[in-house]
Amino acid sequence: MSRSSHELFDFIAAALAEFVASGGVDYHLPEGTHRELGFTFSFPVKQTSISSGTLIKWTKGFAIEEMAGKDIVAELNEAIKRQGLVMKVSTLVNDTVGTLAAGRYVDNDTVVAVILGTGTNAAYIEHAHAIPKWHGPLPMSGDMVINMEWGNFKSAHLPLTEFDQALDAESLNPGEQIYEKLTSGMYMGEIVRRILLQMAQEAALFGDNIPPKLEIPYILKTFHMLVMHHDASPDLETVGIKLKEIFEIESTSRKTRKLVVDVCKVIATRGARLAAAGIHGILKKLGRATDSPDKRRTVIAVDGGVYKYYTFFSKCMERTLSDMLGEELAPSVVIKPANDGSGLGAALLAASYSQYLQADED
């Protein structure tokens, strides 16, 4: 995540080589052809063609500075060559665009895709004439996919606390990805840790001594947070086990464990509501958030570990979106899980582009 671009892309190419080797002896590439690869890359990119793009900046804790401004597809293709693979990247796809493609493949009413995982982002289908910065020829469909990079949304209206401000100031990218820092898996557990640390310092939450491990940034993952939050045992036994495992806190009262669950709930609720507000903003932009006679069916494809595994978060987000839409409109908006939508979508786009090229040649 922070070494050299060579090491990162060689690691990816080695995993590809391992995957290809596991394909068995029955599959043979036709003579004179190569494998077409769809490459899901979930970082901000200036995309220059369907199979090229330069990295704008890293997010989610990656920090390989030499890569900024470089063509990531060229880097991966070179690494693939070094592995001796007969393969090349034919499509570069942001994970939200891949999820949108996968969602659209199974349901034609899909117009929005959202990722809620380590990071967060969204993509939607916009009318091409509504994009002021588009100066090329309009696509035949009249529509364009917009990768929003909404994780970088910043506004005075976002409910930032002292904990968020401290997390941001000490992060690898201060002042950036503010919305992501409130709603995604990379950061929610860390916000909970910072709150618990202050409670330990100012109110002796875990006794007279502050547990040393509680002072280690990012030691509490959002996965740990959801496991504690989902603890349904009468004595909150799982919370106690996790506090011992992660922070080496030997014993806690039920009251203390309940306070920990309450903190998890507050941070998850805020994240889920903000995510719902983001989706509502897209629907508003598309004219689908106001009551109209046709009430078109609108499908939102959602992928990512936070949405998939953090049940409280996903249910809270869905409830909030329904409340914002109102009882008349809410039934026409459907949220659909898209498991590994980003990977499947990249493969579908690579396959369809390959067919498009063949049809063009014919």
* CATH classification code of 5-93: 3.30.420.40
pLDDT greater than 70 at residue 279: yes
C-beta separation of 283 from 333 below 8 A? yes
Determine the pLDDT at residue 211.
96
pLDDT tens for 44-58 read 888 888 889 999 988
Q: Residue type at 96? A: T
C-beta separation of 215 from 197 below 8 A? yes
C-beta separation of 275 from 114 below 8 A? yes
pLDDT greater than 60 at residue 293: no
Q: Which residues lie across from 336 on neighbouring strands?
A: 301
Instruction: Give the DSSP per-residue string, 206-226.
Output: T-SSPPGGGGSTT-S-HHHHH
pLDDT tens for 72-105 read 999 999 999 999 988 889 999 999 999 999 999 9
- How far apart, in whole angstroms, are the C-alpha atoms of residue 7 and residue 42? 18
pLDDT tens for 249-269 read 999 999 999 999 999 999 999
- How far apart, in whole angstroms, are the C-alpha atoms of residue 81 and residue 6? 12
User: 292: pLDDT confidence band, cut at 50, 70 and 90?
Assistant: low
Mean pLDDT along residues 229-243: 97
Which residue ranges make up each domain of the chain?
Answer: 5-93, 95-339
- In 3D space, the residue among 170, 151, 150 whose CA is nearest the CA of residue 162 turns out to be 170
The answer to whether domain 95-339 has CATH 3.30.200.20 is: no
Residues known to be catalytic: 60, 95
